[in-house]
Amino acid sequence: MNETATIAGMGVGLPPSAVQDELWEGFFANHYAGGRRGLARRIFENAGVVTRQAAVSPLLEDVSAWSTERRMQRYQVEAVPLGKEAVGRALTDAGVSADEVGLFAVCSCTGYATPGLDIVLARDMGMSASVQRLFVGHMGCYAAIPGLGAVSDFVTSRGRPGVLLCTELTSLHLQPAGARADIQQIVSHALFSDAAAAVVLTPGAGHGGYAVRDVVAVTDSTTAGHMTWEVTDLGFRMGLSPLVPDVLAVHVRKLVEDLLAQHGLTVADVDGWAVHPGGPRILDVVQEHLRLPTGALSASREVLSAYGNCSSPTVLLVLDELRRRARPPRNVVMLAFGPGLTLYGALLQRTAT
């Protein structure tokens, strides 16, 4: 049995990009007419987002009145090529062929169909008929980390490569500007974006990749209503309480310190932080309570600015940004947050080149 699973390759698939200001002027300024327009404009301006991606851009198509059935049909059309691009790039980066993959795990909370992405992509990309598949749905923004843990466990126990794909099309869930167009909905529309990100894990220490050392979680079930994702007749509707950062403030330091202590490390030993950029305030709270220096979360802030909050792929986009730096970090802590209210963390360590 192998003791280590290493991230040997990563790949990203992105739909067309749009400028935040153009999204506001070209669509949302009219979507939020009347008394809500001024508030909505301030939220858009302060979201920390400059550009983001949309498989279904509101500048071209207004899907806010579409039925959930119609949105799910479009999900399959748009998600398959994005997922294929991300997985293909990750396999190439890792030097692994599709028919070598032992487990293919897919995370998504923005679309459902059977046969799903796991079946369609495994077939289209030439994975073996015996490949094992896992679909993780409705975990939201933190899904990449438990997905990474599941694939890592498979790789270490079976000695075969595994692939994790996170694909989200939040643009399909634009909500109507009706009576329920509250602040939470405006925040969601100002932040969320589309992306696909994939990682390939291989057994052993690898060379120049990131070994998955540990995955941990804590759920504060007393705050379960703070973050919701409801299936409605008009797509999926986000509930996002402004109290979410306050809950993170209570739990984040202990979770990180306990994770690091199990491996003889402290916060000071971490030189790479891949924190899910749920919004500027969430990043500020994490930085403050972990007492991180200025710039420690620069990769997360850059991803938020360039890509928005893409739900589950976002923390992988941050990791990809870190590993591409001229001096990639040695010890990386990944953090992501979502419904529950749940905090997930992972410790990654760069292997020798």
Pick the catalytic residue from 107, 109, 141, 310. Answer: 141
Q: Is the dihedral of CA 155, 312, 97, 76 positive or negative?
A: positive
**What is the structure's pLDDT at 182?**
81
Q: Which residues pair with 105 in a beta bridge?
A: 134, 164
- 């305030």: which residue's tokens? 281
- Take residue 223 and report the two structure tokens written for it: 């705050």
| Structure-model confidence comparison of residues 184 and 198, the more confident one | 198
**What is the structure's pLDDT at 2?**
59
Q: Which residues pair with 346 in a beta bridge?
A: 215, 334
**What is the structure's pLDDT at 179?**
47
Under a CB-based contact definition with an 8 Å cutoff, are residues 5 and 212 in contact?
yes
CA distance 83 to 168: 10
**What is the structure's pLDDT at 180?**
53
User: What integer is the mean pLDDT of 141-145?
Assistant: 98
pLDDT confidence tier of residue 235, bands split at 50, 70 and 90 = very high
What percentage of the chain exceeds 90 in pLDDT?
92
User: What integer is the mean pLDDT of 72-79?
Assistant: 97
Closest by CA position to 347, among listed 249, 284, 276, 263 = 263
The lowest-confidence range among 6-15, 32-41, 207-216 is 32-41
CA distance 348 to 74: 36
Residue 207 has pLDDT above 80, yes or no: no
107 included as an active-site residue: no
* Domain 5-203 shares a fold with domain 210-350: yes
Class of domain 5-203: alpha beta
- Domains of the chain: which residue ranges? 5-203, 210-350
Report the CATH architecture of 210-350. 3-Layer(aba) Sandwich (3.40)
Residues 88-116 pLDDT 10s:
999 999 999 999 999 999 999 999 999 99
Q: Is the dihedral of CA 110, 116, 119, 125 positive or negative?
A: negative
User: What integer is the mean pLDDT of 288-316?
Assistant: 98
Q: What mean pLDDT is reported for the chain?
A: 95
Query: Using CA atoms in the order 171, 175, 177, 183, what is the torsion angle rounded to 10 degrees?
Result: -90
Q: What are phi and psi of 130, to 5 degrees?
A: -95, 5
CA distance 215 to 150: 10
User: Which whole-number Å values give the CA distances from 206 to 5, 9, 121, 244, in the listed order?
Assistant: 9, 11, 26, 38
Closest by CA position to 256, among listed 195, 346, 121 = 346
User: What integer is the mean pLDDT of 243-266?
Assistant: 96
CA angle 336, 341, 346 (to 5 degrees): 30
User: What integer is the mean pLDDT of 328-332?
Assistant: 97
**What is the structure's pLDDT at 33?**
80
User: What integer is the mean pLDDT of 18-29?
Assistant: 96
- Take residue 152 and report the two structure tokens written for it: 């890592």
CA distance 203 to 205: 7
- 107-118 per-residue burial string, b: 16 or more CB within 10 A, e: under 16: bbbbbbeeebbb
